[in-house]
Amino acid sequence: MAVAKGSACSMETGAEEKDSRTVVVTLVDAITDKYCSGPEEFFNPEVLPVFQVIKEHSPKSKPGASPVEERKNITVDDKGISESGPVEKLSSMCPKLTSLHMINNLIKDWEAIFAIISSMPLLENLNLTLNRTLSGAASPTLPLPCPHDSLVCLQLSCTGVPFKTVVTSLPVLPNLSELHLSCNQYTDSDILQALDGEREDGRLVHHKVSKLYFVENQLSQWFSVECIGALFPNLLSLILNSNPLQKILHSSGSGSSLFRVLESINLNDSQLDSWDEVERLGAYPRLRHVSLLRLPFYQNMTMKESRFAAIARLPLVSYLNKSVISGEERQDAERWFLREYKDHSNPPDAYRRLLEKHGHLQPLVQVSLEAPRVANMTFTYEGIERPDEAIEVDIMQTTRQFRRWIGRRILVPPSKLRVYYNDDEGSKIYGGEELRIESKALYTYRMKDGDKIEVYIKQ
């Protein structure tokens, strides 16, 4: 390929100018590139006639208006966006926008975030997930911008944005109700440093936030969780799964004063180390939805046992692991719990409460409900000289496996076999039942000891 002649200096300058153009991508640029470009033509007269590739357009707008003027949702992920661009232009482009997704871009400070939301008066949801350049964002400079009343959901997961800068910025968003801060590696010290000296005077308390995603951070102390409860006193839902929390230890009086309206908590994959921690969740009076999957002390329990144990310990909870607890299941769980701990010298607190409710229970009769896996049946043959024989059959296998097994045993291809099942009662009235459905398991025919298998060889 031929290269245009020119001085090295001029070539370097051109490269620098190109780099400067590509490094700074604004939100205005990204929206224009994706939604506002016209049709592009591709023409090769030797191959095909002219055709057009039409880029995605916004809903129909008035002549001369922005092509995205009527849009309520815009997605500009992975575009390298680092700035908002001219606020006036952004405002005129998207006057009706309610949801903006900017995943995996390069937004790096709160000033850029405020510029974006201030230019979109109807914006309700802003998704900045994976904007990792926010990890160095400093607290916004004072005075803060005017409040933005419409934003109700802000997603800052996987950004590393400092927790202190988040809580000091939230006064700009007085109606924010849902906040995503997952996978940001927040530690206990991050929470304490953010609130140190400021929590008591109420400057950092945010009453409207009702749902907080705090998944896969590094909280290990319940006191940090209580600080979050003080910061967001009206939380209804708190998603804390995959934090290394080991204990639920209420500070003095906190059990009744914090999380007083909390309805749902997710502690899946945490490091809670005993059932005592689960019982302490009962301190939150409105808690009705609890998720407690994959906890360390479940190791020696079946799924049913761990579920029953949690239900028995949490009398007010109505959903466990997103599954409703019926009245019948609660009764079964509580009665199981009483039998499980009746011989313990120091039973859990829940045992005494349930003993008052149900009284002493008689031990259950030990009855095996496990279905038999084999049946001893008599085999008869027609079309081949072979005596009748009694054989123990694995009735967990399918009809196809059974026919192949018979074929190998008598050295006849399965395609030449017709196999009938006869029980002691039904066969006398209806005759034998041919085993035709190859995927059907033998036990579904209710095969049992003493039944018969008739094998016919096709000629």
Domain 25-138+147-358 has CATH 3.80.10.10: yes
Please list the pLDDT of the chain residue by residue as tens digits (459 residues): 443 334 333 334 343 444 444 579 999 999 999 988 754 433 344 444 433 444 444 455 555 556 789 999 999 999 999 999 999 999 999 999 999 999 999 999 999 999 999 999 999 999 999 999 999 998 887 667 889 999 999 999 999 999 999 999 999 999 999 999 999 999 999 999 888 755 544 567 899 999 999 999 999 999 999 999 999 999 999 999 999 999 999 876 555 578 999 999 999 999 999 999 999 999 999 999 999 999 999 988 999 999 999 999 999 999 999 999 999 999 999 999 999 998 888 999 998 999 989 888 876 655 555 667 889 999 999 988 899 999 999 998 999 999 999 999 999 999 999 999 998 665 555 568 899 999 998 988 889 888 999 999 987
217/233 Cα distance (integer angstroms):
21
Query: How many angstroms separate the Cα of 404 from the Cα of each of 304, 340, 412, 418, 423?
Result: 38, 47, 9, 12, 22
The three-class DSSP label of residue 452 is: strand
Q: What is the pLDDT of residue 58?
A: 44
Measured distance between the N- and C-terminal CA atoms of the chain, rounded to whole angstroms: 77
Q: Which residues contact 89 (CB under 8 A, 6 or more apart)?
A: 28
Q: Which residues contact 450 (CB under 8 A, 6 or more apart)?
A: 376, 377, 378, 424
88/94 Cα distance (integer angstroms):
10
Query: How many angstroms separate the Cα of 323 from the Cα of each of 69, 292, 318, 329, 357?
Result: 43, 12, 9, 11, 24
366/369 Cα distance (integer angstroms):
9
Highest CATH level, class, for 374-457: alpha beta
What ranges do the domains of the chain cover? 25-138+147-358, 374-457
- Which phi and psi (to 5°) does residue 365 adopt? -70, 130
pTM: 0.71
Find, among 279, 283, 300, 284, the residue nearest to 292 by Cα.
279
Q: What is the pLDDT of residue 288?
A: 98
- Which phi and psi (to 5°) does residue 380 adopt? -120, 155
293/88 Cα distance (integer angstroms):
49
